[in-house]
Amino acid sequence: MVDIYFPQISNTTDRKYLVLADLCFSGLWTFLWFVGFCFLTNQWSWTQARDVQIGADSARAAITFSFFSIFSWGLLIAFAYKRYKMGVEDFARSYIDPSAEVPTPYSSYPNISHDSYQQPPFTHTAETPEGYQPPPVY
């Protein structure tokens, strides 16, 4: 769920804590799968072949699944760490302290000065031709 809503979170502190939580969660599950793999392998090595009539393939499949789960969760740790490093670098590189100055307005086209704005309509600033009277301004 965090991966779905992550791009919509704008607060860098919240993003940092979510990525660190993802990193810790993936690390915990990697450790648990490693412990499970070690336990299952140890138990299987002590099992005698004459004691197992049914389920030997299931036990080997569980050991194999736990072994490959270690690498899968380890890969998730690498992705979370990469996201953490990317977020720290992006924030440090793109952060600009806001200044007290009022910024100049953006022009709609390049190389256009900001002095060439249109006059507001219905103002009487220029001379009018004879016979034409603009409507009064209220």
pLDDT given for residue 55 in this prediction: 75
Mean pLDDT, residues 3-9 taken together? 77
Other beta carbons less than 10 A from residue 59's beta carbon? 14
State the pTM of this model.
0.57
pLDDT given for residue 75 in this prediction: 94
Each domain of the chain, given as residue ranges in start order, spans: 12-45+59-95
Q: What is the pLDDT of residues 46-104, one digit of tens each?
A: 888 777 777 788 888 999 999 999 999 999 999 889 888 887 666 555 555 555 565 65
DSSP-assigned states of every residue in the chain: -HHHHGGG---HHHHHHHHHHHHHHHHHHHHHHHHHHHHHHHHHHH--GGG-SS-HHHHHHHHHHHHHHHHHHHHHHHHHHHHHHHHHHHHHHH--PPPSSPPPPPPSSTT--TT-PPPPTT---SPPPTT--PPPP-
Tell me what percent of the residues of the chain surpass a pLDDT of 70: 69
pLDDT given for residue 124 in this prediction: 59
Give me 16's structure tokens: 């940092």
